[in-house]
A and B are shown apart, each in its own frame.
Chain A
Amino acid sequence: MLELRDVTVPGRERPRLCGISLSLKPGERVALVGASGAGKSTLLGVANGLIQPTSGSVQWFGEPRLRRRLRSRIGTLWQDLRLIEGLSVQHNLNTGRLAAWSWWQLLLNLLQPLESRACAEALAQVELDASLLPLPLSALSGGQRQRVALARLLRQNAELLLADEPLAQLDPPLARRLLQLLLGLATPPRGLLMSLHRPDWLEGFDRVVGLRHGELVFDRPPEAVSAADLEQLYS
């Protein structure tokens, strides 16, 4: 579903990514680890089409161009969530349907939020109650917002799930639960590529990709990642 070959993204002092090759298949769960500035967010930016590499190639679902139809199959869980303030939880969830809906549905939804049942189901999958649907976003806690952002991905019905350090600002128990949720969602046809700030949470991933100064240092199963490997990344 995602194939990067020799991808390079230039930076001011040194390349933000340098000759990275990486692939992700349906059902795979891949963790990106590395110190700050290693290139994790840049790699995720290339994967969701935000950043254009200067050399190398990217293929999404076997296609080299990211058309709108394809974009709707890629869902990103952003570190800053990118929910729309001032809208209700249900309206925010329905922004995930933007690419799928007709204009008529879109306009109707602005007047009265549609598909309440599907929204409630999406909330249930992220362990939130349907009573939150009519609430404004401002009424939610940080953890609830995080899960609403995840439920929006579910509403989008995305297959390629990208997550940029989504656990960074959560307390450890909540972060663990969200991580389990994300890993549970990544069953075929979905796949997960996620950057992690804590290398001790690699359990449940199929592969771990280590980045350092924009270069790929290793790409192996978590059980094969040694303390020395991690030491090398964070030193």
Chain B
Amino acid sequence: MSPAGQLLLPALVLLPLLALLPAAWHGGGLDLIGQFLLAAVQPSTDPALIAASLRGIAITVAVALWSWLFSLLLGVIGGVLSAEVVSRTLWGCGWPALLLRRLLAIPRSLHELLWGLILLQLLGLHPAVAVLAIALPYGALFARVVAEQLDGLPRRNLEALQLAGAPAPAALLMALSPPLWPQLLSYGGYRLECALRSATLLGVFGLGGIGADLRLALQSLQFHEVWTSLWLLAAVMLALELVLARLRQRWLEPNRELLVGFAALLLLLLPASQWLELRWQVLFSPWQWPEVLPLWDPSGWLQDWPQLIGSTLLLTALAALLAVALLPLLLLLLGPGRWPRLLLSACGLLARLLPPPLTALLLLFVLQPGLLPAVLALGLHNAGILGRLGLEGLDALPPQPAQALRLAGGSPRQVLLVAGFNGIGRSYLSFGAYRADVILRESVVVGLVGAGGLGVVLLESLSSFAWGEVLPVLVVYAGLTLVGEQLADLYRRRLLSGPLPREGCQG
């Protein structure tokens, strides 16, 4: 089947979703949805609210920056140490690297929200906890990418330097760091965008910043206030995307300017964190461990595992298919012109900006709690992320094949379908597979709308301090996400015959 065919097939997911709609629809808050949408053009301009929103955004940005910096540090150290080429060069064997890689799979397997919820039980509600919660899985994920990139680099230069008598660490640094750098820079930049989204999400669950403001405003139906925060957040996100795109072009190799940039960022962040009251000291205060070691409680293992795993997989599959299907479908319906694309870009920005739990809360105005609002919330959020990649991919395609088809009589939609969708098909689907893996981890964040599955049990047991249930579900959930990660990798490699997409991000 052609890539365009594979791109359009996921649209069939709309059939089961439409079938679920009549039973889930209550429509009671349709006027509230209308008010919410109208408020987009009338955000509150109250100076006190704007000041509070700006402070919330500053906290979220600080959390994102710190967690990103820590994850880079963890990722580079962990990645270098878990690269087989490094292990073999330094110690003459590969097993220490493989062992470390297996260990790093544990922090990677849990979504940052789960880390956040676990850590807040142990440390309390502080933005600093959010930093740790994001840095742990992000660092482990970054380490995996670094290790994969290092192991995928050609080794001729390394061998040549070693044969010329260079010490192993120096040979590694000289031979492997230059080709690794551009990939690290590109991937690292994307991780910062992801960190901003994750910091917002953790705020929704009480860990401070703009996410908390958004949730409060939404729950009290202050839609004008919601939009004030959302527009400010959109401006920050757009500015960040712009700055990162510029820096990626400018800093193609390590230089003094980059070091100065990092130093300036740290100098700015340290007093800013003090002013924003991030409270690092909580990370060093005594952790409140549960009194009984929960794995010893056998009743925690007595769960209806097939039902829980089945619900989680169903939610993941439906949301992933919806996320993949939306951009191609909407582009075909609206047409590939400039204005429809601009509209889709704006909708995509809002969809990826609004954390899925808040989208789910909005959907509850018209839908019963259950699978459908959860699928829609996760699907729309990820469609926003995938949509950006898809539109960028379409823009980057060589124009000649499309031009040839247009001159041969193809309509704009036909040309989009044949030249456009076939051109981006493989990379888009590959990233879609990656997002499916992320959605599996994210399924926990929509637990609050009663989607069922492991996420609900985890959230309930965490909030009721039922540690006897938490650990078994965590173990099964982590196992499931690791299997999902392997399957997504397998599909992507078959599709692309290449490594992780550079845009891959968990947030």
With A78-B404, A87-B2, A111-B1 as given contacts, are A71 and B425 in contact (CB-CB < 8 Å)?
Answer: no
1/0 per residue, CB under 8 A from B, across A97-124: the answer is 0110000001101111100000000000
B426 touches A84 (CB 8 A): no
In chain B, what residue has the closest Cβ to A77? B404
B430 shortest CB reach to chain A, Å = 12
Q: Which of B61-77 contact A (CB under 8 A)?
A: none
Query: Does B42 sit within 8 A of A, measured CB to CB?
Result: no
**Is the pair A87, B409 in contact by a Cβ cutoff of 8 Å?**
no
Question: Measured between C-beta atoms, what is the minimum distance from A17 to chain B in Å?
Answer: 18
Do residues B425 and A86 form an inter-chain contact, with CB atoms below 8 A? yes
Indicate whether A49 reaches chain B with its CB closer than 8 angstroms.
Answer: yes
Chain A residues with CB below 8 A from B401, complex form: 82-84
Q: Which of A83-98 contact B (CB under 8 A)?
A: 83-88, 91, 95-96, 98
**Chain B residues whose CB sits within 8 angstroms of the CB of A156 once the complex forms:** 408-409
The answer to whether the Cβ of A69 comes within 8 Å of any Cβ in the partner chain is yes
State how many residues of chain B have any CB contact under 8 Å with chain A.
Answer: 27
**Separation of A37 and B423 alpha carbons in the complex (Å):** 31
B407 near A98: Cβ-Cβ < 8 Å: no
Given A84-B419, A86-B422, check contact A98 B400 (CB 8 Å): no
Contact B409 A82 (CB under 8 A): no
What 1/0 mask marks residues of chain A from 148 to 186 whose CB sits below 8 Å from any chain B CB? 000000001010000000000000000000000000000
Tell yes or no: A72 within 8 A of B by CB. yes
Contact pattern, B 407-431, Cβ under 8 Å of A = 1, otherwise 0: 1111100110111001101100000
Q: Is B436's beta carbon under 8 Å from chain A?
A: no
Q: Which B222-241 residues have a C-beta within 8 angstroms of A?
A: none
Q: CB < 8 Å: which of B404, B411, B414, B422 contacts A87?
A: B422
Given contacts A84-B423, A99-B409, A111-B5, contact A106 B404 (CB under 8 A): no
CB of B328 to closest CB in A, whole Å: 11
In the complex formed, the residue of A with least CB distance to B427 is A86
Q: Are B5 and A78 in contact (CB under 8 A)?
A: no
- Assess the A74–B2 pair: CB atoms within 8 A: no
A141: shortest Cβ distance to chain B, in Å? Answer: 20
Assembly CA distance A90 to B245 (angstroms): 39
**CB within 8 Å of B: which A41-68 residues:** 48-50, 68
A229 within 8 A of B: no
Q: Which of A72, A85, A107, A109 contacts B408 (CB 8 A)?
A: A72
A88 to B5, CA, bound (A): 13
Q: Are A50 and B409 in contact (CB under 8 A)?
A: no
Using Cβ atoms and an 8 Å threshold, which residues of chain A touch B408?
71-72, 74-76, 95-96, 98-99, 156, 158
Q: How far is the CA of A87 from the CA of B5 in the complex (A)?
A: 11
Most buried by A among B405, B407, B415, B417: B407
Please indicate the chain A residues that have their CB under 8 angstroms from the CB of B407 in the complex: 48-50, 71, 74, 76
CB within 8 Å of B: which of A174-204? none
A153 to B401 CA separation, bound complex (whole angstroms): 14
Specify which of A50, A72, A88 is in contact with B2 (CB 8 Å cutoff). A88
Question: Which of B400, B410, B415 has the largest number of chain A CB atoms within 10 A?
Answer: B410
| Residues in chain B near residue A76, CB distance under 8 A | 404, 407-408
Contact residues in B for A49 (Cβ distance below 8 Å): 407
Is B414 a contact of A106 with CB atoms below 8 Å?
Answer: yes
What residues of chain B lie closer than 8 Å to A71, measured between beta carbons? Answer: 406-409
Contact of A69 among B4, B409, B422 (CB under 8 A): B409
Answer whether residue B403 sits at the interface, using C-beta atoms and an 8 A cutoff.
Answer: yes
Q: Is there contact, CB below 8 Å, between B8 and A82?
A: no
Q: For the complex, is B3 an interface residue (Cβ under 8 Å from A)?
A: yes
Separation in Å of the B460 CB from the closest CB of chain A? 43
Q: Specify which chain A residues have a CB less than 8 angstroms from the CB of B405 in the assembled complex.
A: 95, 98
- A87 to B405: give the CA distance in the assembly, Å: 14
Partner of B400, one of A68, A78, A107: A78
Contacts of B400 in A (CB 8 A): 78, 80, 82
Q: How far is the CB of B333 from chain A (nearest CB, A)?
A: 12
Taking the closest CB of chain B, its distance from the CB of A165, in whole angstroms, is 15
Give chain B interface residues in 300-344, CB to chain A under 8 Å.
Answer: none
A21-50 CB mask vs B (1 if < 8 Å, else 0) is 000000000000000000000000000111
Contacts of A74 in B (CB 8 A): 407-408
A104 CB to nearest chain B CB (Å): 12
Give complex CA distance A86, B4 in Å.
10
> Across the interface, do A82 and B403 meet the contact criterion of CB distance under 8 Å?
yes
Q: Which of B1-18 contact A (CB under 8 A)?
A: 1-5, 8-9
Partner of B426, one of A50, A86, A158: A86
Residue of B with least CB distance to A149: B404
Query: In whole angstroms, what is the CA distance A49 to B403 when docked?
Result: 11
Specify the chain B residue showing the minimal Cβ separation from A68: B409
Select one of A68, A70, A82, A85 contacting B404, CB under 8 A: A82
How far apart are B396's CB and chain A's nearest CB, in angstroms?
14
Q: Interface 1/0s, chain B 1-37, versus A by CB < 8 A?
A: 1111100110000000000000000000000000000
Contacts of A99 in B (CB 8 A): 408-411, 414
B423 touches A86 (CB 8 A): yes
> If the complex has contacts A76-B408, A91-B2, A106-B414, are A50 and B403 also in contact, measured as CB distance less than 8 A?
yes
- Given the known interface contacts A84-B401, A95-B405, the answer about A110 and B8 at a Cβ–Cβ threshold of 8 Å is yes
- Cα–Cα distance between A95 and B405 once the two chains are bound (Å): 7
CB distance from B498 to the nearest CB of A (A): 14
Q: Which 8 A-B pairs have the closest CB atoms?
A: A99-B409, A72-B409, A110-B5, A71-B409, A82-B404, A98-B410, A111-B5, A82-B400
CB within 8 Å of A: which residues of B? 1-5, 8-9, 400-401, 403-411, 414-415, 417-419, 422-423, 425-426
Pick 26 A–B contacts, CB within 8 A, sort by A.
Answer: A48-B407, A71-B406, A71-B408, A71-B409, A75-B408, A78-B400, A80-B400, A82-B403, A84-B423, A85-B423, A86-B425, A87-B422, A88-B2, A91-B422, A95-B408, A96-B408, A98-B414, A99-B408, A99-B411, A106-B414, A110-B1, A111-B1, A111-B5, A111-B9, A112-B1, A156-B408
What would 4 more interface pairs be, CB under 8 Å, given A78-B404, A86-B423, A110-B5?
A74-B407, A80-B400, A110-B8, A111-B2
